[in-house]
A and B are shown apart, each in its own frame.
Chain A
């Protein structure tokens, strides 16, 4: 029982980090970014490259990778997505294409074998009789801190208010002189950086291979649809729900079924209540 509680929390934490970034960029710029999973993958691979090939210590490598991927995210938004913004479908397609290009590039450079990302903590902790790897607990901690930090940032700073303004009413924000385009770039960077951080934290104990972007993006999308597109609290709640649902299924039935949980949840939500639980924007 306790195991499910702990492992469920860790799983939810990773999903939350991915979902929050995804819903943020949607809420602000109405972009359904299917390349979000690629940021996750690049985070993990970045950590692998810097630590294993360039022998950079992990504590230094991690922030470097986060910033690097954030910049990459900004570039993608600026060059590839912004020109397509008139059509949501076009944005979808192009972000999907980007994710495929990244996956193929990773495959061509690194091959399909799993790569090893080092952990921050190598110890095991025992909580109430349950063996938990230190890295997993650290991931949980990092997720809470980073999401909390992001939320505070949005609520308390000027830039944060600008972001909120744009997401609520883009036209009015424009009239008020808020530079939407620049802010999209910033939001994309934050979203990408968060995803990369998730990759760095989860890389050590989950699998690092070129197609690792696919499942996380499916789950992030599921969470965001269930929680309501554009709502950060919604994403967090939905992430918890999904994380625990998966863990329960994994322990109760078998790990093979966990993937279906998220996809089925998305499908059901879309069919029954496209706005999600907390969403303001409907899917039709």
Chain B
């Protein structure tokens, strides 16, 4: 994947892949918490937006070096994860989802209300690029994506992942078995948020601009769709989902307005016919067939 833009020598494709990679980071981070624990978070855009705005503020208003944005984005997202997560994680599935959604909507509104500080609807402009060369930036983003997948994938396969999946299965039993369920839930949300915020900061330095649109429901839904396509809980599947959906909708770029329609319809279809997702099960099948053929 890293060599693709060089092979095709297209700035446009590089742009598309950069965005796909960032969506990959967001999807993987979402999958880590919601995919494993089954507590779907409809407000993931909150962490993304907070990370992006943190980058925006630091870089423009406070003139900080762009590289501070990454840790700042993560920190901001973590703070919000704690604020939102602690009170809401004891709610049942749909209510947790909607509570998180409310959080994102409130942030979006606040950005608009305090337009004198945040630039309102038009957001913050004039953010510096992190790395001037688009190619190097792309590789950097890919690197961050690989890092995210490795770290979170590793956690998912370790004892952590087992516990989170157990929580999805039956929370009460886990509690009875002596596990500090609340700690794990909050921790996974915080980790998920941190990476989402980091992705948000990267995005800010790519678009060179942040706007309240980042907090929109659509962003969260897009990511959830990508994870569904990839296969819930598989971590690496989320990357596949992000890539697939981004490229697919770019194919329809002449019908740019149809992009959201595609996502929505795709979501419905997936929910109906492929609740296990597309990418992960397919790879598993291919793997099985190949290892079956070899033995």
A–B direct contact (CB < 8 Å): yes
**Contacts from A to B (Cβ < 8 Å):** 32, 80, 83-84, 88-90, 92-94, 96-98, 100-101, 103-105, 107-108, 214, 218, 221, 256-257, 259-260, 263-264, 266-267, 270-271, 274, 283-284
Which of B67-75, B92-100, B174-182, B286-294 sits within the interface?
Answer: B92-100
Given contacts A260-B113, A284-B90, contact A104 B106 (CB under 8 A): no
Q: How near does chain A come to B280, taking the closest CB pair, in angstroms? A: 18
Query: In the complex, how many residues of chain B place their beta carbon closer than 8 angstroms to a beta carbon of chain A?
Result: 36
- Are B264 and A97 in contact, CB atoms less than 8 angstroms apart? yes
Point out the residues of chain A lying under 8 angstroms from B87, CB to CB: 271
Q: Which of B88, B93, B265, B267 contacts A89 (CB 8 A)?
A: B93
CA distance A283 to B257 in the complex (A): 37
Given contacts A84-B271, A284-B92, contact A270 B99 (CB under 8 A): yes
Q: How near does chain A come to B88, taking the closest CB pair, in angstroms? A: 6
The chain A residue with its CB closest to the CB of B225 is: A97
Point out the residues of chain A lying under 8 angstroms from B105, CB to CB: 218, 259, 263
- Are A93 and B224 in contact, CB atoms less than 8 angstroms apart? yes
CA distance A259 to B106 in the complex (A): 8
CA distance A67 to B267 in the complex (A): 28
B8 at the interface (CB under 8 A from A): no
The chain B residue with its CB closest to the CB of A100 is: B264
Determine the main DSSP class of A at the interface with B: helix
CA distance A153 to B194 in the complex (A): 52
Given contacts A214-B217, A270-B95, contact A80 B257 (CB under 8 A): no
Point out the residues of chain B lying under 8 angstroms from A218, CB to CB: 102, 105
Determine the main DSSP class of B at the interface with A: helix
The chain B residue with its CB closest to the CB of A91 is: B94
Q: Which of B94, B113, B218, B268 contacts A32 (CB 8 A)?
A: B94
The chain A residue with its CB closest to the CB of B265 is: A101
Q: Which of A97, A107, A266, A271 contacts B268 (CB 8 A)?
A: A97
Q: How near does chain B come to A67, taking the closest CB pair, in angstroms? A: 25
What are 24 residue pairs bridging A and B, where the CB atoms are less than 8 Å apart in the complex?
A: A84-B271, A89-B40, A89-B93, A90-B271, A92-B98, A94-B268, A94-B271, A96-B221, A97-B221, A97-B265, A97-B268, A100-B260, A104-B258, A104-B260, A107-B257, A256-B112, A259-B105, A263-B109, A267-B103, A270-B95, A270-B98, A271-B88, A274-B95, A284-B95
Q: Which of A84, A104, A267 contacts B264 (CB 8 A)?
A: A104
CA distance A71 to B144 in the complex (A): 49
Q: Binary interface profile of B, 142-178, with partner A (CB < 8 Å = 1, else 0)? A: 0000000000000000000000000000000000000
B110 at the interface (CB under 8 A from A): yes
- Are B109 and A259 in contact, CB atoms less than 8 angstroms apart? yes
Point out the residues of chain A lying under 8 angstroms from B102, CB to CB: 218, 263-264, 266-267, 270
CA distance A22 to B272 in the complex (A): 24
Point out the residues of chain B lying under 8 angstroms from A259, CB to CB: 105, 109
Point out the residues of chain A lying under 8 angstroms from B7, CB to CB: none
- Are A108 and B267 in contact, CB atoms less than 8 angstroms apart? no
The chain A residue with its CB closest to the CB of B112 is: A256
Q: How near does chain B come to A182, taking the closest CB pair, in angstroms? A: 23
CA distance A98 to B271 in the complex (A): 12
Point out the residues of chain B lying under 8 angstroms from A97, CB to CB: 221, 264-265, 267-268, 271
Point out the residues of chain B lying under 8 angstroms from A101, CB to CB: 261, 264-265, 268
CA distance A97 to B92 in the complex (A): 21
